[in-house]
Amino acid sequence: MIAMAPTPVHLPVMPDEAMHYLAPRAGGVYIDCTTGLGGHSKRIAQAIGPEGRLLCIDQDGEALEFARANLNPFGRRIKFARGNFSELAAIAATNGFDSADGILMDLGVSSLQFDSAPRGFSFSHEGPLDMRMSREAGVLTAGEIVNQWEESEIADVLWKYGEIGQSRRVAAAIVRARPLRTTTDLAQVSEQALGSARKHQKIHPATQVFLALRIRVNGELDSLDSVLPQARGLLSLGPSGGGRLVAISFHSLEDRVVKQYIRREATGCICPPELPVCRCGHIATLRDLTRRAIRPGFAEVAANPRARSAVLRAAERVA
């Protein structure tokens, strides 16, 4: 008998809250920018019914294949597109989505990616230092950064994306330990460099090192910066209310980008306060639906510990 590989599972984070703010309606048009295994998409597909349309985007071809299988029962109401959401406007246009009643972003990596040793995202599974969400996307891997970049460049990455106070110490340890081949090599070096300084902390010393490298490898903050205005541009402006943007972030840097973008676009004049009259001419194009960040409840975090750092923000397009 042939042993079947188990189907990967990813529990969608804050599914009820995401649907509450996205408010998908029958016959509506929606875009899931981060389809993963299709958990949130399934909820959207159910809500929009056979007349609705959903565009499911992911840059990870493997994830998209699982999503296709999981969402197969919804047939023609769903289109799939592999690509980086930093190209959202072009991907939407290519697939015939001129505007959307709702756009969802559930950022970061899925369990499929995180738990797969060959993808190299986690120090809990020994694998190559890869960390690319899209294996087609360019050549940069975590291995290239730790083995080929200058010590000061590595320190910058750790400082900027991991907010690691001892970034220089870790960068120096990485350079001394070259070549680093596996996630275990990097976890050990991180632990040696940071272990004593972080003994009082609950998280593993390598956590922030891995996070920083992953963010840099995938250009995560740049993609987020670039997708937000494109998403706003696609949101519909209907008589019964504008289209909605829902973003779920998993670390403070990501959440800051989303929060600042929504605040800015939900504000009229953005001139410096010392100017007596408005010179910017900026007008609000969004309404902030979540002035205070929405976080998962205790029950969800108990059932799905990966939800613990999630923060949801939402906004609605206004004329």
Shortest separation between residue 179's beta carbon and ligand SAM, angstroms: 28
Residue 102 or 205 with smaller CB distance to ligand SAM: 102
CB-based contacts of 288, cutoff 8 Å, min separation 6: 262, 263, 266, 315
State the minimum distance, in angstroms, from the CB of residue 311 to ligand SAM.
Answer: 13
Q: Which of residues 239-298 bind ligand SAM (CB under 6 A)?
A: none
Judged by CB, which is closer to ligand SAM: 119, or 259? 119
Distances (CA, A) of 241 to 69, 101, 287, 317: 33, 9, 11, 8
Does 167 contact ligand SAM by CB under 6 A?
no
Q: How far is the CB of 60 from ligand SAM (least distance, A)?
A: 4
Residue 36 touching ligand SAM (CB under 6 A) = yes
Q: Going residue by residue from 221 to 250, which x/- string records binding to ligand SAM, judged by CB under 6 A?
A: --x---------------------------
The encoded tokens of residue 43 equal 């909820």
Interstrand relation of 244-249 and 102-106 (parallel, antiparallel or unpaired): parallel
Tell me if 133 contacts ligand SAM by CB under 6 A.
yes
How many angstroms separate the CA atoms of 189 and 173, rounded? 6
Read off the amino acid at residue 154.
I
Tokens for 35, please give them: 């389809």
DSSP code per residue over 162-189: H--TTHHHHHHHHHHHPPP-BHHHHHHH
CA distance to 135, 201, 229, 243, 269, per residue, from 236 (Å)? 33, 46, 14, 5, 23
Q: Does the footprint of ligand SAM cover residue 34 (CB under 6 A)?
A: yes
Cβ neighbours of residue 169 under 8 Å, at least 6 residues apart?
Answer: 193, 194
- Judged by beta carbon, residue 113 or residue 167, the one nearer ligand SAM is 113
Calculate the dihedral angle through the C-alpha atoms of 86, 92, 93, 98, rounding to the nearest 10 degrees.
-120
CB of 308 to ligand SAM, least distance (A): 14
> How many residues make contact with ligand SAM (CB under 6 A)?
22
From residue 89 to residue 128, the character string flagging contacts with ligand SAM as x (rule: CB under 6 A) and all else as - is -----------------x-xxx------------------
Query: Does the footprint of ligand SAM cover residue 58 (CB under 6 A)?
Result: yes
Give me the residue label for tokens 């975590």. 142
Residues in contact with ligand SAM by the rule CB under 6 A: 10, 12, 34, 36-40, 57-60, 63, 84-86, 106, 108-110, 133, 223
